[in-house]
Amino acid sequence: MAGRVDALYFFLIGISVFFSLLIAGLIVFYAVKYRRRGANDIGANIHGSVILEIGWSVIPLLITMVIFVWGASVFFAMARPPDEALNIYAVGKQWMWKFQHLDGQREINELHVPVGRAVKMIMTSEDVIHDFFVPAFRVKADVLPGRYTTVWFEPTKPGRYHLFCAEYCGTKHSGMVGEVVVMEPSEYQTWLSGGVPEGSLASTGAKLFADLACNTCHRPDSQGRGPVLEGLYGKTVTMQNGENVLFDEAYIRESILNPTAKVAAGFQPIMPTFQGLVSEEQLLQLIEYVKSLKAQAEVPTARPVTPGPAAGENTPVKK
């Protein structure tokens, strides 16, 4: 993305420099040309010019529309990570960056990524607002407590790149720095296989899901008191009040911490809150487990089976 961001940036600089020099130059030129030469000089009586006024309205409009369309296209490209992007979670904390890979690797203030692969960062904060900033990638986004923000980038050159916190977050804000280590794919594979203390994020989440007894209500067979979670990720779910909500990371997180906020249609608001019981990192594990239930559920539905009569009733998925 760096090339596209820079091209737009230099275009803006070019436009600014061109008009600054033009205006400053004309001010000096006319000041000299039309200076008062004698005590009897009287200025010409001019009552405006329609052509001139249309000109200085239309030309800036065209220039700003070019900037708008160009800027919007870069913005959309930056806001839409490709589907095949590698997902990595980040948790900001006074004063460090914690990274969590899907395979289970955790890192602090260092982020290892492969070259030539799109990487999507899903970020949140444990305390105050931080800001994930990798200048070399032209990537910058606020990291907020209580919600997930995302950025994506595709490293094109192996190397080590500065990572900064770009939001004043307290005493050691300036020390909240790190490095993004971009590796050749083979090196990255070696790095990945070197020491995974726990299992993958989803498998740790599965264990936590059982430890917290989530599985007593959220059962795969639609006999539980909570919605069946299999296959829900990425779908739109209808709530009790008729509202449609996207079943994404933010919704899963909210439903764990504040279960009565948005209750799926056909269910009672009986789930207890897990606020204070699960950390931000454990939330990521649970989310990744719920996301992984998608793949398992897609296998049976791919076969031509007739769904049972109860399935449609208890599965709050909007068709």
User: Which stretches of the chain bind ligand CUA, using CB under 6 A?
Assistant: 92, 95, 130, 165, 167-169, 173, 176
Task: Give whichever of 95 and 233 is closer to ligand CUA, judged by the CB atom.
Answer: 95
Report the distance separating Cα 125 and Cα 17, nearest Å.
40
Residue 167 or 249 having the CB closest to ligand CUA: 167
Nearer to ligand CUA, 142 or 248 (CB): 142
Q: Which is nearer to ligand CUA, 109 or 222 (CB)?
A: 109
Instruction: Tell me how far, at minimum, the Cβ of 162 lies from ligand CUA, in Å.
Output: 14
Q: What's the min distance (Å) between Cβ of 312 and ligand CUA?
A: 47
Least Cβ distance, residue 294 to ligand CUA (angstroms): 33
Minimum CB separation from ligand CUA for residue 145, in Å?
11
Q: Which is nearer to ligand CUA, 109 or 240 (CB)?
A: 109
Q: 95 vs 99, which CB is nearer to ligand CUA?
A: 95
| Residue 103 or 127 with smaller CB distance to ligand CUA | 127
Degrees, nearest 5: CA angle 301-306-311: 75
**DSSP character string of the chain:** -HHHHHHHHHHHHHHHHHHHHHHHHHHHHHHHHT---STT---------HHHHHHHHHHHHHHHHHHHHHHHHHHHHHH---TTPEEEEEEEETTEEEEEETTS-EEESEEEEETTS-EEEEEEESSS-EEEEEGGGTEEEEE-BTS-EEEEE---S-EEEEEEE-S--STTGGG--EEEEEE-HHHHHHHHHS--SS--HHHHHHHHHHHTTGGGTS-TTS-SSS---TT-TTSEEEBTTS-EEE-SHHHHHHHHHSTTSSPBTT--S-PPP-TTTS-HHHHHHHHHHHHHHHHHHHHHHHS--PPPHHHHHH--B--
Nearest approach in angstroms of CB 151 to ligand CUA is 15
Residue 11 tokens, joined = 């275009």
Nearest distance, CB of residue 254 and ligand CUA, angstroms = 24
Rounded to whole angstroms, the Cα distance separating 118 from 151 reads: 10
Instruction: Map tokens 């230099």 to a residue.
Output: 10
- Give the nearer residue to ligand CUA in terms of CB position, either 139 or 271: 139
Q: How far is the CB of 167 from ligand CUA (least distance, A)?
A: 5
Q: From the CB of 173, what's the least distance to ligand CUA, in Å?
A: 4
Nearer to ligand CUA, 167 or 230 (CB): 167
Shortest reach from residue 177's CB to ligand CUA, in Å? 9
Cis peptide before 95 (omega within 30 of 0): yes
**What are the Cα distances from residue 151, in Å, to 131, 217, 233?**
11, 34, 20
